[in-house]
């Protein structure tokens, strides 16, 4: 579950870092479980760096933005993946540099595809809330920015 949470928070940061409506100065995002609504963790953005925290308040990762590239690191500081934005498309790479997925933005919706081109999820931003749905349309996560 924690591995999924780290991936999910990292994914949301890619989405939120590429969303002009989100402030770049000290914004905070809280993540909740879609079924129970329980608090799962938060992300805090300071300039080009975003730190991800679990619900106990421990740092579980960080993201750093450099132009159109976002690199994600685990809690020990090792790069685990990166994404590169080109227009409305963002490609995700593993630490070896292989493409593992892509995201395409259309208005307030971002669709996510695996390396074989199959849609695996989509996220929809409504105001300061982003909801994430799996390929079947079931909501699997929600994040609110302040």
Specify the 3-state DSSP secondary structure of 11.
Answer: helix
pLDDT above 90 for 15: no
Tell me the pTM: 0.66
The reported pLDDT for the residue numbered 9 is 52
Per residue in 114-135, pLDDT tens? 999 999 999 999 999 999 999 9
Pairing of strands 39-46, 49-54: antiparallel
The reported pLDDT for the residue numbered 5 is 45
CATH architecture of 2-145: Beta Barrel (2.40)
Burial category of 135 from C-beta neighbours within 10 Å (exposed 0-12, middle 13-18, buried 19 and up): middle
């Amino acid at each position: 579950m924690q591995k999924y949470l780290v991936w999910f928070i990292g994914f949301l940061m890619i989405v939120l870092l590429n969303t002009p409506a989100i402030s770049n100065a000290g914004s905070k995002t809280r993540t909740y479980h879609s079924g129970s609504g329980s608090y799962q963790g938060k992300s805090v953005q300071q300039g080009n760096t975003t730190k991800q925290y679990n619900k106990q308040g421990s740092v579980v990762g960080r993201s750093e933005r450099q132009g159109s590239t976002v690199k994600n690191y685990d809690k020990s500081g090792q790069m685990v993946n990166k994404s590169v934005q080109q227009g409305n498309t963002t490609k995700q790479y593993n630490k070896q540099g292989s493409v593992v997925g892509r995201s395409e933005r259309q208005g307030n919706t971002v669709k996510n595809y695996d390396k074989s081109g199959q849609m695996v999820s989509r996220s929809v931003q409504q105001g300061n809330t982003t909801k994430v749905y799996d390929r079947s349309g079931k909501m699997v996560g929600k994040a609110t920015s302040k």
